């Protein structure tokens, strides 16, 4: 039996990052990669957020995050805001907490349709990201694309904020064909678990522009974890302060790398699109 067949879902987005939410807490069932791909063929999404019964006391749900290619992710900042909005609306709470494979995340209502997500503490050691070989300094690793004497991109800053990210600093994020470059770098041998590939341009110490090729999902209008990774990498390399506005193709996020406890806080909007139900016989050619 397909775990998603005839299952109710909610379609939402965070700055154009397309999210589908399925609540599995009342009747948990494992979702196979093939089922996720079939669901994505029925209802286009970047990530599917599946809520399961809590594993840790006083959390609201255990969340599994599925990319549209069937792979799993440990973090999705835009998706966390979406499920926070749904759970807060259903319970009347102002703050909720979720657990993922990357750890605990607290989400706080910050205004009408606006939520702040505590992404947790970023990791920078090469084997925590992870990378395929040791690098003493992950603020600029030895990786380039193109001729050795005139590389197209080079020396990314890398970090893990629930999933691996590589941030390439450029003058103009629109000046590169990220749809062509992204898959090559996502699957580069230096990233054994693949990586999210972002282009970042600094407008000021308080403002950066970011475009992302998302691991397992492709080009996206907004990637919350990439915005956080870019903000952290900007501060690590001295390009920005610890509080920045991150402009993505879908809009703006506010990111703070809090000095007191090293946690990364991301604030942004959510949008409800529609509720639906997957086809009782869900297949790659099915519909919702």
Burial grade of 253 (CB within 10 A; 0-12, 13-18, 19 or more): buried
**Among 82, 88, 157, 223, the one annotated catalytic:** 223
Q: Is 86 left (phi over 0), alpha (psi -120 to 50) or beta?
A: alpha
Give the C-alpha separation, 210 to 208, whole Å. Answer: 7
**Among 76, 82, 107, 233, the one annotated catalytic:** 76
Give the C-alpha separation, 56 to 211, whole Å. Answer: 35
233 assigned to active site: no
Contact 38, 4 (CB under 8 A): yes
The DSSP-derived string for 22-59 is: EE-SSS-----HHHHHHHHHHS--SEEEEEE--SSTT-
Q: What are the φ/ψ torsions at residue 64 (nearest 5 degrees)?
A: -105, 135
Give the C-alpha separation, 22 to 17, whole Å. Answer: 16
76 assigned to active site: yes
Which residues are annotated as catalytic? 76, 223
């Amino acid at each position: 039996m397909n775990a998603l067949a005839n299952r109710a879902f909610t379609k939402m987005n965070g700055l154009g990052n397309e999210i589908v939410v399925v609540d599995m807490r009342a009747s948990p069932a494992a979702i196979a990669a093939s089922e996720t791909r079939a669901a994505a063929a029925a209802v286009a999404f970047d990530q599917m957020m599946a809520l399961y019964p809590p594993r840790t006391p006083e959390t609201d749900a255990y969340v599994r995050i599925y990319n549209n290619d069937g792979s799993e992710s440990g973090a999705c900042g835009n998706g966390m805001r979406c499920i926070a909005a749904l759970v807060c609306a259903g319970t009347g709470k102002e703050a909720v907490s979720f657990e993922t494979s990357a750890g605990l995340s607290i989400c706080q209502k910050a205004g009408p349709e606006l939520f702040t997500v505590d992404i947790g503490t970023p990791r920078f050691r090469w084997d925590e990201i992870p990378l395929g070989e040791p690098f003493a300094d992950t603020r600029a690793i030895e990786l380039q694309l193109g001729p050795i004497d005139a590389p197209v991109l080079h020396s990314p800053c890398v970090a893990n904020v629930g999933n691996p990210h590589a941030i390439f600093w450029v003058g103009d994020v629109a000046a590169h064909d990220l749809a062509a470059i992204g898959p090559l770098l996502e699957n580069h041998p230096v990233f054994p678990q693949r990586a999210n590939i972002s282009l970042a341009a600094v407008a000021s110490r308080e403002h950066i522009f970011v475009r992302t090729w998302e691991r397992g999902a492709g080009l996206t209008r907004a990637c919350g974890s990439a915005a956080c990774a870019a903000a952290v990498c900007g501060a690590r390399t001295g390009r920005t302060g610890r509080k920045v506005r991150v402009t993505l193709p879908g809009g703006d996020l506010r990111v703070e790398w809090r000095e007191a406890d090293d946690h990364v806080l991301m604030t942004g909007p959510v949008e409800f699109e529609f509720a639906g139900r997957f086809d009782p016989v869900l297949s790659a050619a099915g519909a919702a």
